[in-house]
Amino acid sequence: AECSNKAKDLDLLMHKELVDGTQRKTFSINMNGLDKSIVDQCPEYAVAHDQYTKMVDGVTKTFAAVMDDINPDFSSQLLSPVVENGQHLDHFHAYSKPTDIDPKKASAQLSLDIHADAGLAIVFPKANY
């Protein structure tokens, strides 16, 4: 989050203002490694991302192995090869509260549109507040 606030000219950092005024900054990253521009401008983020990626990868591989073991007769395709060879994408969001809260914007309208993400599974870590 700190890096996203400092890195004003980082092309890979997307910015969006949600309908309630909340600011969202997002890194969309392939899990095979960070772009050099992110590593150079956000070295502490690069270290955290590496640790996070290893943890998520391990959990996902363990989950796939358990699911594969449930089906010992191999009547369906195994999940482990999909996890090992599939494309893994990552989205890191940093949110900040609006500086001025406009009661007209505080409505039943969703800040984020309901949407579907394509893929086999989504792994969510515990949020860090």
Domain ranges of the chain: 2-52+88-96
pLDDT of residue 118: 74
Q: In whole angstroms, what is the distance from residue 108 CA to residue 68 CA?
A: 43
pLDDT at 120 over 80: no
Q: What is the dihedral of CA 117, 118, 123, 126, to 10 degrees?
A: -10
User: Which single residue is written with the structure tokens 């309901």?
Assistant: 114
| Nearby residues of 67 by Cβ (< 8 Å), 6 or more positions away | 79
Q: What is the model's pLDDT at position 62? A: 95
β-pair type (13-17, 89-96): unpaired
* 83 φ/ψ angles, rounded to the nearest 5 degrees: -65, -40
pLDDT digits (tens, 9 = 90+) for 90-110: 888 888 887 776 666 555 556
According to the model, what pLDDT value does residue 65 have? 93
